[in-house]
Structure 1
Amino acid sequence: MEKNKANIVWGIIGCGNVAEVKSGPAFQKCNNSSLLSVMRRDAKKAEDFAKRHQVPLWYDDASELLKNENITAVYIATPPSSHLKMAIQALKAGKDVYLEKPMVLSVNEALELKKAVEESKNKLVVAHYRRHLPMYVKVKSLIDSNRIGTVQCVDIKYFKEHKPDANWRLDPSISGGGYFQDIAPHQIDLMYYFFGAYQSVKGFAVNQEADYTVSDTVNGIMAFKNGIQFRGIWSFDVSNVAETDNCTIYGSKGYITFSFFGDEVSIVSNRTTENFVFVHPDHIQQPFIQQTVNYFLGKRNNPCTVEEGLIVNEIMQAFSAPI
């Protein structure tokens, strides 16, 4: 069946917590976009999601959703261990793909997915949605307009208390490597988006919490090809009083600072401080999903390619090297 070139008709594979607010409703609210079906292995939960969000169809089998010829694109929001299989299956079914982060579990999987995209007539976008949030659009514009002069170095510090539990993110066979694998992709992708390709990268990871096996502290350094230096440290084994979320970009004439889970950007230059406060969209992925829809309709270039996803996987894998 020929695709409807005027409208993208979506199916969601994995309608869990992320799809509930961050992304799911956006497929119904974007221009030239509609949501026809959702899928979850638990049929009752899939039906519940569909009824609450006024979605016409629901499935408990992804293969059955992919057989629906009215669906032109799928959003894959399952745990990362199934991303590669699901994405390739969707491409082979003739669907365009919007794939949650982390894109896949490893560099080898990323290379396999890249090959599958190259051999397919369909398109794939990686869901690094922060690229199109107004807050990060502003940060990029401040950098590109030389408001802090020549960027010299970048520092990320992300400390969070996470008590051991049964969360799938602590099972490396499902998540790929703990909370770092869940939190860091967006942060690392923004560094690439802001500063371009890297030249060299190195990291160390360690487990300081005996109750689980994945690394809970990750320390990474990187040199970009343009000379900008980066260092970042992530720890998920701190007390709540030590929690920190900060990125500071230092330039020859000042610096920009913000929190990844905040809503404010500050720029300090020429002995002055300027603050910008943002209200995030109700469905935080909606601006990026709109750009994805536009790309699938041939109205713009890819907002985040599989090649860019591969770069993020390379950096994360290097940062995660055990001591």
Structure 2
Amino acid sequence: MKTISWGIIGCGDVNEIKSGPAFNKINGSVLSAVMRRDKEKAADYARRHQVPSFYGDAQDLINDPGINAVYVATPPGPHEEYTIASLTAGKPVYVEKPMSLDAESCRRMAAAAAQTGTKLTVAHYRRALPMFRKVKTLLNEIGDVSLVTIRFFQPKASALVANSEENWRVDPAISGGGLFHDMAPHHIDLMLYFFGEPLSIHGHSANQAKMNRADDIVMGQLVFPGEVFCTGAWCFNVPKEFASDECEIIGSLGKIVFPFHGNEVSLHTGGEVAVHRFEHPQHIQQPMIAEVVRYFSGEAAENPCPAEAGIKVLTIIDRFTGK
């Protein structure tokens, strides 16, 4: 493919800035069509973003001969259906995180990609951001890593959680769980990106505040190769003053501290602290989308985030939450 001509299934609020406009800002990429079940809203998105075509039915977009790649950007519920339909049509897919509702669904998606010989990439886009690539290089500065701690505590109404017209993120039938399922895939995927596949997985979850049907507290433990112990706590019912977003990686020569949703990384070695600050791109998925475009076009051989990564993330989430 000389030019990747994208169709987006699900042009909701997240697409407005985080991803949608990026498709037209990358060499060899163009956004050609969008779909939303509310066709009038699809038309409005297309008009405001100068997208040539719009649809109210996903299959109509998939069948569009002018589309040669699909970005599945709906809530997780229909990810499997839309991804497999696109792959079956021979169109590579960039699917939002979490990859689907559970690991078993992800495996079916990966199997469809293998059976059709069509490319599939998961939108764990933080692994493509300069900030987190810097963290990976800084691991060499702190010696042998022994302990990783994740503390992600948010109030009931968190500014870090994307807004949407429907509160689908706390409906397990649509999201797979609650806010943990929406936010933690970023955090867990970065652990996989830094340390590889875990050797053991243990966790627990509960619905403490009973605000909805989804669990609002999750604790988990991972052990990575090299006896790297990782413990994580996610809570979505704390008072605002106790909010926290911090990952601490401790090694034999120092430690690295950073937020998952901030822009500073601090390196603590030899009694000194070096702070690295980053300015994230306006369209935060743009670095990952650029890599996906190169992969889909054949310019790059390596998948920037293969389906196997999505399966591993959901396997961990399933184990943490008792699925």
The TM-score, its normalising length taken from structure 2, stands at 0.96
Is 1:306 paired with 2:307? yes
Residues 172-321 of structure 1 aligned to structure 2 (within 5 Å): 172-300=172-300, 301-321=302-322
Counterpart position of 1:155: 149
Residues 94-109 of structure 1 aligned to structure 2 (within 5 Å): 94-109=90-105
Q: Which runs of 4+ in 1 moved over 4 A?
A: 163-166
Where 1:22 maps in the other structure, the secondary structure is coil
Is 1:33 paired with 2:29? yes
Q: CA deviation at 1:166?
A: 6.0
CA distance in 2, matches of 1:295, 1:210: 44
Q: Cα RMSD between the aligned structures? A: 1.3
Specify which of 117, 121, 124 is matched with residue 128 of structure 1: 124
Is 1:44 paired with 2:40? yes
CA distance in 2, matches of 1:166, 1:117: 31
The range that moved more, 295-304 or 278-287, is 295-304
CA distance in 2, matches of 1:75, 1:251: 39
Q: CA deviation at 1:225?
A: 2.2
Counterpart position of 2:162: none
Where in structure 1 are there 5+ consecutive unaligned residues? none
Where 1:202 maps in the other structure, the secondary structure is strand
Counterpart position of 2:168: 168
CA distance in 2, matches of 1:22, 1:111: 27
CA distance in 2, matches of 1:274, 1:211: 41
CA distance in 2, matches of 1:120, 1:255: 45
Q: Deviations over 1:161-214 (max 9, x none)?
A: 124996111110000000000000010000000001110000000110123121
Where 2:199 maps in the other structure, the secondary structure is strand
The amino acid that maps onto 1:226 is G
Where 2:78 maps in the other structure, the secondary structure is helix
Counterpart position of 2:84: 88
Contact 2:110–2:120 (8 Å) recurs in 1: no
Q: 1:44 to 1:166 in 2, by over 3 A?
A: closer
Q: Deviations over 1:89-112 (max 9, x none)?
A: 010111110000000111211121
The amino acid that maps onto 1:66 is I
Where in structure 2 are there 5+ consecutive unaligned residues? 159-164
The TM-score, its normalising length taken from structure 1, stands at 0.96
The amino acid that maps onto 1:149 is G
Counterpart position of 1:140: 136
- Percent identical among aligned pairs is 48
